[in-house]
Copies of this chain bind each other. A is one copy, B any other.
Amino acid sequence: MYAECMGILRLALAQINPVVGDLEGNVELIRDLIDKVDHCDLAVFGEMSLTGYPLEDLVLKPGFIADNKTALNDLASISGNCALVVGFADSDGENVYNSIAICYQGEILGSYRKQNLPNVEVFDEVRNFSSGSDPLNLFSIGGVNIGFAICEDLWVPNGPVESLVDGGAQLIVAINGSPFHQGKQQERETLVNEISKKSNIPIAYVNLVGGQDELVFDGGSFITDSVGEVILRSSRFYESTLVADLSIENKTTENLLPIIDISSTREHEGRIEPYIAPPLEIHEELYLALVTATRDYVLKSGFSQVCLGLSGGIDSALVAVIASDALGPNNVTAVMMPSRYSSTDSLTDAEQLIENLGIASIKFPIKDIHSTFSEEWALNLNQDLFGVTDENLQSRIRGVLLMAFANANGWLVLTTGNKSEAAVGYSTLYGDTAGAYAVIKDVYKTGVYDLARWRNDSEGSEIIPKSILEKPPSAELRPDQRDDQSLPSYEILDPLLKSYIEGDKTRAELVKDGFDTKMVDEIVQLVDTSEYKRRQNPPGVRVTQKGFGRDRRLPLVNRYEG
């Protein structure tokens, strides 16, 4: 094998934000870019860019598959001199495939079916798709032999990418629907760097962007050159279409794969210097993930305004700031619902935050409603309301009110519980968990503090009042209540939770890792027995390697105590 400099391939990475099921709208998104990329040899869109991703059981509806093929034909019919590489759901009548189509000058000239289907964590692709098993091809676009891959195809050893490289590919183009978790971009770039270095060819990695239910796609599309260096990187969490001129080396091999000709070499005037977005700092990355997921869940659901209960505590404060950043302060209403146990400080802090953000607010004390419940309880049952029943009642009155505000005004309710609380069940079902989207459900309490501090720092002012950051956490559902009366400090609790939930460790293993035996027993039992609450919690964005929701599927009836 030898290499020699050849032509220039002009490649556009089209990082778009499609909506699941919105075939017309997604075609429109792509169509809007056609003129812009007409000077390129090819424009690459993300995985399932035509349909949105993940489709889940929409794939099981034959009518949807038919409609998606019609949409693809519509798109192909308007394709011009730039080959459009889009993701769609192919089918052969019996099976459905997660696929790529190559549209050029009015026609669909080629396709590739994903071979490796992830069926772990949040992915159910074996449920919904069949694995592609056609012999591999290369596609000659702009005179360059390109091998295509779809997401998981990249991650498996001895997968199609190696065969494409061995078969003479001069460039690998991978389309992806790769959801965010903390540190994910680094994992992607490390992987692709290794493949590039090993295969001595450039790789273009195109991701989706935007929120879809529990997932947020963070973009960050990039190109590595033939020694694995990143030569182009798209911004994270925003749509963008970046272009690179790639000098492609010639490559001959004895085992050349069959080549499907799409388009021949074109002359390109001038040279485009590709943009390299700087990496994001860890807190900014996470914060943008939460903002993007929240914005897209609300807007893609057809809503524009939200409300949330603002207690004066750190969780609801952070959610208010995220909501305001995501939707604009005009679209957020903070609801203060003090009870007989709410401190004056809490109300003052909440009011200060509302002022800082410039969001709307409602103040609706629940004392009288709470009293009526208590009186009616005594009247009808001849007993007093007390203890956990009474604590939950206050939380549920607030839930009822938030839902009433949402019903009356056409708002969505955002919930404000964090991952530490969801883990140990430190929440009231139908109370503080009542709402449409749980913004920080996958952020541990210590992470909530980190984000709040980072947000203040990035603003350069105390947008979240200092006293909110400094007061001891409390649910304020009984006199002088504090979280640390029921739980270890979050600095101790969070690492234990992470190890149990994300690490799948048993009690014995946790104790061996140095956690206190009694604490392990208590916390593991709390986590296990709270599964029924989590099953009924609203969706929220996954930002760790194992979130609750579609990711961690445990039985409700489950007597394992290990």
On A, residues with C-beta under 8 Å from B are 19-23, 25, 52, 54-58, 60-64, 67, 119-120, 124, 126-127, 211-213, 296-297, 300-301, 362-365, 368-369, 372-373, 375-377, 380-381, 383, 385, 388-389, 392-393, 396-397, 399-400, 403-404, 407-408, 429-430, 434, 436, 504-506, 508-509, 532, 535-539, 552-562
CA distance A508 to B62 in the complex (A): 12
CA distance A448 to B61 in the complex (A): 28
Q: Which residues of B contact A19 (CB under 8 A)?
A: 557, 559
B407 touches A403 (CB 8 A): no
B388 touches A393 (CB 8 A): no
Instruction: Determine how close the nearest CB of chain B comes to the CB of A28; give it in whole angstroms.
Output: 12
Instruction: Determine how close the nearest CB of chain B comes to the CB of A212; give it in whole angstroms.
Output: 6
Task: Please name the residue on chain B nearest to A391 by beta carbon.
Answer: B407
Question: What are some 11 contacts across the A-B interface (CB < 8 A)?
Answer: A22-B560, A57-B554, A61-B562, A63-B562, A67-B562, A119-B119, A119-B126, A126-B127, A403-B430, A536-B536, A536-B538
B61 touches A213 (CB 8 A): no
User: Given contacts A536-B537, A560-B21, are A54 and B506 in contact (CB under 8 A)?
Assistant: no
Q: Which residues of B contact A21 (CB under 8 A)?
A: 555, 558-561
Q: Which residues of B contact A368 (CB under 8 A)?
A: 372, 375-376
Instruction: Determine how close the nearest CB of chain B comes to the CB of A429; give it in whole angstroms.
Output: 7
CA distance A552 to B124 in the complex (A): 12
CA distance A64 to B505 in the complex (A): 9
Instruction: Determine how close the nearest CB of chain B comes to the CB of A396; give it in whole angstroms.
Output: 4
Give the copy number: 2
Instruction: Determine how close the nearest CB of chain B comes to the CB of A117; give it in whole angstroms.
Output: 9
Besides A54-B555, A64-B506, A392-B404, 5 other A-B contacts (C-beta < 8 A) = A213-B556, A364-B380, A365-B380, A392-B403, A535-B539
User: Given contacts A400-B400, A404-B393, are A560 and B213 in contact (CB under 8 A)?
Assistant: no
Instruction: Determine how close the nearest CB of chain B comes to the CB of A334; give it in whole angstroms.
Output: 14
CA distance A556 to B293 in the complex (A): 13
B555 touches A436 (CB 8 A): no
CA distance A307 to B242 in the complex (A): 60
CA distance A436 to B430 in the complex (A): 12
User: Given contacts A19-B559, A553-B57, A559-B21, are A404 and B389 in contact (CB under 8 A)?
Assistant: yes
A504 is contacted by which of B54, B62, B404 (Cβ under 8 Å)? B62
B560 touches A58 (CB 8 A): yes
Q: Which residues of B contact A364 (CB under 8 A)?
A: 376, 380-381
A506 is contacted by which of B55, B61, B537 (Cβ under 8 Å)? B61
Instruction: Determine how close the nearest CB of chain B comes to the CB of A22; give it in whole angstroms.
Output: 4
A557 is contacted by which of B20, B25, B389 (Cβ under 8 Å)? B20
CA distance A119 to B120 in the complex (A): 12
Q: Which residues of B contact A52 (CB under 8 A)?
A: 555, 559
B380 touches A56 (CB 8 A): no
A403 is contacted by which of B396, B408, B538 (Cβ under 8 Å)? B396
CA distance A491 to B475 in the complex (A): 49
Q: Which residues of B contact A365 (CB under 8 A)?
A: 380
B403 touches A400 (CB 8 A): no
B556 touches A301 (CB 8 A): yes
Q: Which residues of B contact A297 (CB under 8 A)?
A: 556-557
Task: Please name the residue on chain B nearest to A383 by beta carbon.
Answer: B408
A400 touches B430 (CB 8 A): yes
CA distance A126 to B375 in the complex (A): 54
B400 touches A396 (CB 8 A): yes
Instruction: Determine how close the nearest CB of chain B comes to the CB of A249; give it in whole angstroms.
Output: 39
Q: Which residues of B contact A124 (CB under 8 A)?
A: 119, 124, 127, 553
Q: Which residues of B contact A392 (CB under 8 A)?
A: 403-404, 407
B120 touches A63 (CB 8 A): no
B404 touches A301 (CB 8 A): no
CA distance A211 to B556 in the complex (A): 12
B63 touches A506 (CB 8 A): yes
Instruction: Determine how close the nearest CB of chain B comes to the CB of A57; give it in whole angstroms.
Output: 5
Q: Which residues of B contact A57 (CB under 8 A)?
A: 552-554
